[in-house]
Chain A
Amino acid sequence: MFMIFGIPGPLLFGQLLLGLINGAFYALLSLGLAVIFGLLNIVNFAHGALFMMGAFCAWMLLEYLGIGYWWSLLLAPIIIGAFGIVLEKVLISRLYKLDHLYGLLLTFGLAMVIEGLFRNQYGSSGLPYRIPPSLQGATDLGFMFMPNYRGWVVVAAAIVCFVTWAVIERTRLGAMLRAATENAPLVQSFGVNVPRMVTLTYGAGVGLAAFAGVLAAPIYSVNPNMGSNFIIVVFAVVVIGGMGSILGSILTGFGLGIVEGLTKVFYPQASSTVIFVVMAIVLLLRPNGLFGRV
């Protein structure tokens, strides 16, 4: 067996792959955050709670209506996205004219309320959600035992990330969205309904979080704290990638997953801190983030 830095090669490859899987979740979540921040200027601290709601939505669809994983993957983002639209219309839209801090406080408070309600109802041990039959089992890759479901997560996340990026950067709709963030009154004067577009964008960002939640449900137990475990890391990812940069958040998400995976091999105690160390270094050297516009 060959060794790299005193670690068996197969083990290292295994960890890189696992890092990529975690990175897929970071990328999906930070993508939603970046979209919302880029277009709405709202630091959406409720993102973790909405991710958790996505997972719970999948669980409820199965438990109460007998709707399985694949339909949930489609339905949960729509349902939770609709919930996001209501949130935006009723609460968040009132804060656009104020400082970022107000949006942050509101969404942080919302996250606590939502998580508290779920905790009250379902406890914190978590609820089991089974891997769909077609993705059960695992493949022996030689260097590691790869659960098929995790492989699917990477593929699904990569596709969704690419599609989102393409829509925003390469389509007419995306161009209008980007134009609206630069100069909303001007775009409105061309007959585009900017407030509606902003509302739908928030709904889409929330839908992305819910999609990640459904993907996560079979891996982690569906529990009210699952979002708060992720959210701080995901914010660090967004900051490192550059606030509002779509491509930056995708690449940084996958990249930091790998950095974290490697830390788990060499010094597990630091695995929860390493991302913040990277964040501090990046902020010192490039305050706008790796991909941020200066």
Chain B
Amino acid sequence: MNQSVFEPWNDPNAKPLIQFKGVTKRFGDFTAIDNQTFDIYEKEFFALLGPSGCGKTTMMRMLAGFEAPTEGQIWLDGQDIAPFPPNKRAVNMMFQSYALFPHLSVWDNIAFGLKRDGMPPNAIGDRVGEMLKLTRLEKFAKRKPHQISGGQRQRVALARSLAKAPKLLLLDEPLGALDAKLRQDTQFELMDIQETTGTTFVIVTHDQEEAMTVASRVAVMDDGRIMQADTPANIYEIPNSVYVADFIGDVTIIEGTATHSGNGYDIVFAEGQPSLHAESEITLTDGSRAALAIRPEKVSISAEKPENTRNALQGKILDIAYLGNLSTYHVELPTGQIVKAQAANTRRLSRRSFTWEDEVWISWTDTAAVLLEA
């Protein structure tokens, strides 16, 4: 079978399902969304990720119809959705609080939207049955929401919002109320359900791990703007700004002055320290400020000065975070800068090579660090 990679955002012929066209949303003086233009494609699992107050929830509420853009338009399936109130949109939402109707049984909760559509009763029965099966809730159909567990309630909320087969499903922090273990299982379940139903999902979350796990594309938001929208791998490996690099995962940022050299730039970051080299496709004027973002797992740590790399610095181990499979070393350079280096714990603890206060060398290759405008 010739299965092509799912990345419609790279296909110029693909028709987006949702288009934000210069959307701005203001609440009084406060600008929640600042002139945003972007597309979401059919069958995508699109994550809006950011700290609280970054505008991700406003974005979602505009899609659902609970807020209207101050400026700009939102198009769904080639149509401006501004004239459609929430109850007329082919968009359903799964609420953070789940918002299950406490006076209705699980079955009636799921059937609620279908009944509003005037579907014939036996068709409703079939559809609800289908949804109960999809979310493994058959046994709980007759229970009231307060008689089931948090995880089951989450699945009822999902089943209810999927029952009407919306073109777009919005999920507002869907796993926020679950404990860590259940969360992980549910993440995979969500992905399965998304794949089975072929529905486009837009998820709002502040949990980067969750966004990276479930999403086909992640939009990192800050201050009402999407800083970068890309695949989880690209967001992590090639962030386009210091903000994104810093927001996603663990990173060391070294700021300095850039000078063009070879396929990239040399960065002078402190007096008495060797200059660092990073290969990069971005163009900087010589002498401008630049930042290097280096992921800890790409930094090696050794007792002797490593050969054949230009990027080697000496420092002292300040802290060790033992994570079981990995250890993160915080190495302090003579300048006071701290560089994080991660090493797999392939040996038993007692035979670990480095400990606190050890003088060590840290190094990375020319392609390991990402060069960014500071």
Q: Real complex partners, A and B?
A: no
| Interface residues, chain B, with chain A CB atoms under 8 Å away | none
Chain A positions near chain B (C-beta within 8 angstroms): none
